[in-house]
A and B are shown apart, each in its own frame.
Chain A
Amino acid sequence: MYIVIENLLQRLVTGIMVGSIYGLLCTGLGMIFGVIRVINFAQGELMMLGMYATMFLGGLIALWLSVGSAAGAYLAIFVVAAALGGVGWMIQKYLISHVSGFKASQSDNQGHFAQLILTLGLSLVISNGALILFGSSPRTVQSPLASSSVTIGPFSEGDIMIFLNQARGIGCLVAIAVSIVLYLIVQKTRLGITMRAAADNPKAATLMGIDIEKSYATAFAIGTAATAIAGGLIAMYYPFHPYTGFEFVIIMYAGVVLGGMGSMLGAFWGGFTMGLVQQLSTYFLPFQLQNATIFVLFLVVVLLRPQGLFGKNVERA
């Protein structure tokens, strides 16, 4: 009996930690998808770049500042986020803007098809480029945190003990903090308001003097930075390789749709649900099926609540 409870609690706690990180991952994508309405297939690859960059830069920072490898990696995550944010800005400004917005409004399907090809091509270039540069063998960010944990308990006269993996635990806290900051930026700042206006009605926003191309590029930059941070946090406990992006991009999109479009909170909770269900399912199902459960859940939600778990609008139903 205690074993059952202990197992479930352990998975619940792990699920909450992983879920928070996935939440940030989906928040990043949700910004891009929500503001620009562009499906960016390269988002997973940008995350993968974030993972490699965190690994290399983390090692360098640890050497320069002579701090521990973990501290080096966490510092690196934010430098990498800024750099990849810049990359995201350029992708929107120099690539995607060619086939979206007013330029594409004259073509059939508003350039959606072209956007897909462009981002698919980009994802191929990045993932295969990474293969050339980094090789195909899986890598991890070396730090003691991945294999050390904090113990909670014992409860019930020593029968129940829960382990918190440190890499996941810190990742969870960082992810929640970053998500809150992003939320505040979007809700409270002038920047956020212009972005939301551009998302809601690009034409009206333009007439109000908002430079929507700039808003789009900013949203892309922030979204990419958020994804890069989440990628760095995942890299602290999960081995990655040049094709890791493919694995995650599906989870990211499923999370965004699951949560329901329109609000960043929806994207966060969508990702959170993904992580939580994925971890909990390992208790009931064989390991190979843990990712299958999240897609079954996803389809059930689509069937019962097309607007998503937390979405209000029925625009897509």
Chain B
Amino acid sequence: MLMPVTKGPQLAMIGVVSAVMALGSLWISDPYYQLILSTVPIWATVALTWNLFSGYTGLISFGHATFFGLGAFTVALLFIKLGISPWYGLMLAFIVGACASVLIGSITFRLRGHYFAIAMLAYPTLFIFLFDWMGWQELTFPIVRDHPMQFMQFKDGRAYTLMGVGLMTLTLLLTLFIERSRFGLAMMSIKQNEMAAQAAGIHTFRVKMMGFVLSGALGALVGGFHAVVLQVVTPHGVLGTVVSAQALILTLFGGVGTLWGPVIGATVLVPLTEGLRAELGHILPGIQGVIYGLTIMIVIVVAPEGLYWKVRDILHRKNSASPELKKDRKNITWVSDGAKRIQSTTTILRVEGISKAFGGLQALKNVNFEVYENEILGIIGPNGAGKTTLFNVLNGFQIPDAGVITFRDNITTGQGPHQLCSVGMGRTFQVSRPFLRMNVFDNVLVGALGVCKNSEDAKFLAQQALDMVGMSEMNDQSIQSLTNLELRLLELARALASQPKLLLLDETLAGLGTAEVDAILQVIHHLPSQGITIVIIEHTMQAMMRLVDRMVVLDHGQVIAKGLPQKVMNEPEVINAYLGKKWMTLHASH
């Protein structure tokens, strides 16, 4: 659905839509309709620039007006105070937008989710107060008598509409290009699970910043253009919450994170607003807002993901209403090799004296162990023993307070997850969140992006990983149709796609039935023979005994036993930690 599809049809669609809008604007000469017509592409572009960052990374911003407003003020101030033509002003607006994005991003990326969204509210508000105080309550562009063209003052309003359509077309093309690029997939992988993206080798801060700067710079450009069209700028008009809200509403109404969503939203809602204002605004002020509000509420309850997806789902259902629910799925079968692996004595990972505390809680206390090449090492321990913290420290999500980690003969303590991934450390997560709207192959492809320079290699690795888990026939399946077992295998394939030398598996078997556990065990069992060393956290003791070569037992952040599974399980300390003293004394008396 994403990478494999060619851009052709979408390119054609962009051409058709732009041509229709441009021709439509030439057709209509009535100045009022011309104004509405020129606002549609402008607001579509505002929404597209918002979507470019927020839609694809999932980091909702309530402050897009910052960039829109800064662009507008840049153009207006340069023209009014220094007599610089908006042609140059727009270029500068673009640069101002980019610089503001870098600054704002480096402050605000410290927050995630809702907190990021809310913090973004502060910036436009701040600028409103500032510009009001500077005395820029209303900046009007002076009318230029000689050479009006040089100052972007056209007699014919259609010129603005054409330029607006041009701006929208450019943004659409850019969005299309990004959506199909590694960069676009990297942004989407952040939306899905930022930690998993890091673990898959993606430098998430850099990806977010790039998206943000692009979105901010283009937002400022369209803000500047909007100012040129209206020839007047007010702080509330260009920086108000209404602007940010409009970008958000148009995009979400049409379909967030899609190429066409923002355009659909603008095409439906902008004329609706203008029409309502013109028809009803003077009869009953406020009624247009009520109707507008009700409209978006009703649509979002009916189509929570936006019109684009709703329409697509309906069309899709019609097309494939026939009973083929792909039930002829191949049963996943496995051949056990039975033979025990040859133990290697080369150490791939050495953990020495690792400690980590959270406030008063000592999560890990002087942990020592080593992992040998091509073995399967199990880490067990009761809840709260520090297993997941240990993984987080190993793959760089958390920096240990003390101790040294040596991975493939290099000290890696303190390196970030994406760096560790690039040297061959992969990881799965307890909670997997696949892209619901992507097919199996694309979901795995994301895992390969961090380590591949070009997308052909990435595709090859993704296919290889799917083969390794036995899902090679299921490339085009949608995520919704997968069984629980297949979802786990998919998660495993995603981690394998980054070509790890060492793979950390975090409770891959949790919540599966016996048959499903068997199926996954088979897959994992084969990995060492392909040069992949496994460290697995698991609760299911029985499964662990069958799978692992050696075991490390954690309790209260300390290693209390390590060695061969049978030996470890008979140690009194382990029995004590797992089953309690009571059980021991009970059984001792027998």
Contact = CB atoms under 8 A, between A and B. Distances in A.
Interface stretch (B37-45, B246-254, B338-346, B443-451): B246-254
Interface string A120-156: 1111110111111000100000000000000000000
Nearest to A120: B245
Interface in A14-53: 33, 37, 39, 41
Contact of A254 (B122, B297, B305, B436): B122
Given A108-B436, A295-B126, A306 B292 contact: no
Given A113-B256, A132-B286, A254-B122, A291 B129 contact: yes
A124 B290 contact: yes
A312 to B, nearest CB: 8
The residue among B111, B126, B249, B289 with the most chain A CB atoms within 10 A of its own CB is B289
B344 to A, nearest CB: 39
B290 A128 contact: yes
A257 interface: yes
A292 interface: yes
Shortest 6 CB-CB distances between A and B: which pairs? A128-B289, A124-B293, A131-B286, A121-B297, A125-B293, A292-B129
A223 interface: no
B284 interface: yes
Contacts of A109: 58, 191, 256
Contacts of B133: 286, 288-289, 292
A242 interface: yes
Contacts of A41: 245
Given A108-B257, A295-B126, 20 more contacts: A106-B436, A114-B252, A116-B252, A117-B248, A117-B297, A125-B294, A127-B289, A128-B286, A254-B121, A286-B133, A289-B133, A292-B129, A292-B130, A292-B133, A295-B122, A295-B125, A295-B129, A299-B123, A302-B119, A316-B113
Contacts of A292: 126, 129-130, 133
Nearest to B119: A302
A303 B287 CA distance: 42
Nearest to B296: A121
B572 interface: no
Interface in A265-317: 286, 288-289, 291-292, 295-296, 298-299, 302-303, 306, 316-317
A121 B119 contact: no
A1 B286 CA distance: 52
B487 to A, nearest CB: 13
Interface of chain A, main secondary structure: helix
B154 interface: no
Interface in B255-287: 256-257, 284-287
Given A99-B300, A125-B297, A303 B121 contact: no
Contacts of A254: 118, 121-122
Contacts of B153: none
A220 B292 CA distance: 25
Interface of B: 58, 60, 107-108, 110-115, 117-119, 121-123, 125-126, 129-130, 132-133, 191, 241, 245, 248-249, 252-253, 256-257, 284-290, 292-297, 300-301, 304-306, 435-437
Contacts of B289: 124-125, 127-128, 131
B286 A118 contact: no
Given A129-B290, A131-B286, A136-B285, A121 B122 contact: no
Contacts of A131: 285-286, 289
Nearest to A127: B289
The residue in B114, B295, B305 that gathers the most chain A C-beta atoms within 10 A of its C-beta is B114
A78 interface: no
Interface string A93-116: 001001100001011110111101
Contacts of A288: 129, 132-133
A185 interface: no
B122 A120 contact: no
- Judged by DSSP, the binding face of B is helix
A240 interface: no
Interface size class of A (residues with CB under 8 A): 35 or more
Contacts of A136: 285
Nearest to A296: B126
Nearest to A112: B60
B125 A116 contact: no
Contact of A302 (B108, B294, B306): B108
A167 B112 CA distance: 39
A250 B530 CA distance: 56
A216 interface: no
A125 to B, nearest CB: 4
A238 interface: no
A39 B118 contact: yes
B28 to A, nearest CB: 29
Contact of A132 (B117, B290, B305): B290
A246 interface: yes
Contacts of B300: 99, 114, 117-118, 121
Contact of B241 (A108, A246, A261): A246
Contacts of A95: 297, 301
Given A120-B249, A124-B289, A99 B304 contact: yes
Nearest to B436: A108
A125 B294 CA distance: 7
A253 interface: yes
Residue among A108, A128, A256, A303 with the most chain B CB within 10 A? A108
B119 A299 contact: yes
